[in-house]
Chains A and B, each alone.
Chain A
Amino acid sequence: MMRVFERPESLTEKQMHYCPGCTHGIIHRLTAEAIDQLGIREKTIGVASVGCSVFAYDYFNCDMQQAAHGRAPAVATGIKRVLPDRVVFTYQGDGDLASIGTAEIVHAAARGENITVIFVNNAIYGMTSGQMAPTTLLGQKTTTTPRGRTVHDNGYPIRMSELLATLDGAAYIERVSTHDPKHVMQAGKAIKKAFTMQLEGRGFALVEVLSTCSVNWGLSPQEALEWMRDNMVPYYPLGVFKDVTREEEQA
């Protein structure tokens, strides 16, 4: 009998706490699969952040550190600088990376810190009960924008991938989505590439993964996937924003 599907070695057997319909589980799996495929589990150190993925240290079957809110890129920098031959990744949500941790992520990218960042953008604060995120769309209702996000009160949602891609230190920046199997496959490829970039010593690599929060969006899991496709993807276009290997080929 051929086994066609199994838990990646880089995930623990711990049952995840994520809500039904949440795509964090998929993104964890993609990350773990990439680590397995590259055979780097025993030299990988992950950094969990604060938000829904705060317990990521229980799910990834590798050495893990849990960072203060927004500080994961700084913690990862501290690790990578003293253990440059290890593989270091952060797993951060939109509040962590695009709000409280903007200084840390921008400067990690600017330094070309040789780490891999998995950035999960679901346009809302899930953990704290559905408040506005820096990536909440205009008009989107959250518990702190009960009449919908307005430019007047809250300004515009931040496109982090585009912003970070302007920095010379960034080696690879891609935005992917998880709204259907095809896009999940592409997300997996991007995450693997982001780890490969680190192994090749190319510098800062980030994959922004669009993700759902059906509970706080007030939608069923299926509706949430569709909402993400119809509303998030148009504002947060998918694709590669920076890839130094591609630039090299073109040159």
Chain B
Amino acid sequence: MAKVLMKGNEAIAEAAIRAGCRAFYGYPITPQNEIPNYMALHLPERGGVYLQAESEVSAINMVYGAAGCGVRVMTSSSSPGISLKAEGISYIAAAELPCVIVNVMRCGPGLGGIHPSQGDYFQAVKGGGHGDYRLIVLAPGSVQEMADLTFEAFDLADKWRNPVMVLADGLLGQMMEPVEFIDREPQMVPKPWATTGAEGRKPNIINTLDIVPESLEKRNYALAEKYARIADEETRWQEYKIEDADLIIAAYGTSARAARSAVDMAREKGMRVGLIRPISLWPFPSAPFAEAADGTRQFLVVEMSMGQLIEDVRLAVNGRGVVHFINRLGGMVPTPPEIYSKIEAILQGGEVQ
């Protein structure tokens, strides 16, 4: 299929429909509105259900209900709305229901602003809702990846019976780039656990309550074991010019785009710089950082937050390398020249952390 020029948000919606998403429940919030708009226009005519809920809280619980029936279902929102969904996300993770949640991040805290940010990294990968659970978190870096990773998110959700979050930001959502939708079949799996009416079988129960500690502990261990297997199989990242690098940048999503340009600028000046771009934020790609951290290299984390990804990078580097930091906040996006200046300061100016 030929390339089309699309906004990232629209690419997410189109990819979701192609991945077999048959229900969308949402609530308007900038900068993700093109997703529900697209769904409202296209999902019904392609065999699905679109419903605007009365709140993000309600929307995520509608997702719970539909996911419990075995239907591929999705919701999307932006940062403050994801906070409202946090309760439902915890329940969905606990009930092991497959679904896709899109967060087109805007800047916070509070109502914050509507411009791009990466301030919800912790919320996405460390919890957000209550209790011990994990979301698979995928971080696209282009409109093409908005489409590809959304499609993949549905397959992963079904494969692991786990909610998957696509963590984008306002820039990726609003930007247009060429995108190609590859013809591929979604990996549908049987869902004998779904509540579809107990016709000729014992009733199925979708439930997160278990007040017997011995029993709940077993359930928690089973979840932990599942999360360990996901970490083994589903960790994704991209490496760019790291083999000979003296300095390795860590960045995802929008920050990684600017970082990549900065790497090229530095290379043109003869500086050996590379980039590791985590694509799955959970499971986090610790291995490439641990391998790169041989004691001779330095690291630079680029983020649109006060420093969240940097904690996972530091854990992976585990003291075997200085980890520098550069960021922009409040809806500002780091530019390649400012990242380049930081690189120059570290490598030529001998900047210490």
Chains A, B in direct contact (C-beta < 8 Å): yes
**Contact A82–B23 (Cβ < 8 Å):** yes
Which of these, B55, B61, B73, B195, contacts A68 with CB under 8 Å? B61
In the docked arrangement, what's the CA distance between A67 and B95, Å?
10
List the A side residues contacting B209 at CB < 8 Å: 54-55, 66
Within 8 A of B (CB), among A49-107: 54-55, 57-58, 60-68, 71, 74-79, 81-83, 86, 103-104, 106-107
**Contact B195–A64 (Cβ < 8 Å):** yes
Residue B13 at the chain A interface, CB threshold 8 Å: no
**Contact B53–A45 (Cβ < 8 Å):** no
Write the chain B residue with the least CB distance to A76: B65
Write the chain B residue with the least CB distance to A72: B61
Residue B318 at the chain A interface, CB threshold 8 Å: no
List the B side residues contacting A41 at CB < 8 Å: 198
In the docked arrangement, what's the CA distance between A64 and B172, Å?
39
Within 8 A of A (CB), among B45-89: 49, 51, 53-55, 57-59, 61-69, 71, 73, 87-88
Given A47-B65, A61-B203, A74-B65, the answer on whether A81 and B49 have CB atoms closer than 8 Å is yes
In the docked arrangement, what's the CA distance between A42 and B203, Å?
9
Write the chain B residue with the least CB distance to A107: B54
**Contact A68–B87 (Cβ < 8 Å):** yes
Which one of A55, A61, A78, A81 has the greatest number of beta carbons of chain B within 10 Å?
Answer: A78
In the docked arrangement, what's the CA distance between A65 and B62, Å?
12
List the A side residues contacting B196 at CB < 8 Å: 45, 63, 83, 86
**Contact B69–A68 (Cβ < 8 Å):** no
**Contact B69–A75 (Cβ < 8 Å):** no
Given A62-B198, A104-B58, the answer on whether A78 and B205 have CB atoms closer than 8 Å is no
Which of these, A42, A47, A81, contacts B66 with CB under 8 Å? A81
A157-180 vs B: 1/0 string, CB under 8 Å?
A: 000000000000000000000000
Taking Cβ atoms with an 8 Å cutoff, the residues of B that contact A are 22-23, 25, 49, 51, 53-55, 57-59, 61-69, 71, 73, 87-88, 91, 95, 195-200, 203-209
A-B contacts, 23 listed (Cβ < 8 Å): A42-B199, A43-B197, A45-B195, A48-B207, A57-B205, A62-B197, A64-B203, A67-B64, A67-B65, A74-B65, A77-B53, A78-B65, A78-B73, A79-B69, A81-B23, A81-B49, A82-B69, A82-B73, A86-B197, A103-B55, A103-B57, A104-B57, A104-B58
Taking Cβ atoms with an 8 Å cutoff, the residues of A that contact B are 41-45, 47-48, 54-55, 57-58, 60-68, 71, 74-79, 81-83, 86, 103-104, 106-107
